[in-house]
Amino acid sequence: MSDQCVFCKIINKEIQSDIRYEDDQVVVIRDINPQTPSHLLILPKVHISGMDTLTPEQSPIIAHIALVAKKLASQEGLSESGWRLVVNCGQDAKQTVFHLHVHILGGRPMTGQLA
């Protein structure tokens, strides 16, 4: 947990957010700057700076995130038309918050760009 991390503050309910799902491992929020009509962020409750710092012991969270993404994509009505999962890792990939998070994007046809 990082005292300065905005996602940690959202997870701890110190900052209000549009929480769409929560369990013992993750919190899912609507992105405040959506790139698609449906744009959710899956945040692990444990602070992991990014994919490049993920340890073998933490790796089960990735499988959990995938299953949560599948469930939420269905709830958002994206299953039939399709959806995308995106993880940005590092500055060149445009990671702006250094707390591992996964984007669920959908609700329109995707262009050649990732977001």
Give the residue numbers annotated as catalytic, written as ranges.
101
Q: Check: CB of residue 97 under 8 Å from CB of residue 42.
A: no
Phi/psi at 100 (5° precision): -45, 130
Rg (alpha carbons) of the chain, rounded to whole number: 14
Residue 112 CB-density burial (10 A; 0-12 exposed, 13-18 middle, 19+ buried): exposed
E-assigned strand segments in 1-115? 19-22, 26-30, 38-44, 83-86, 102-106
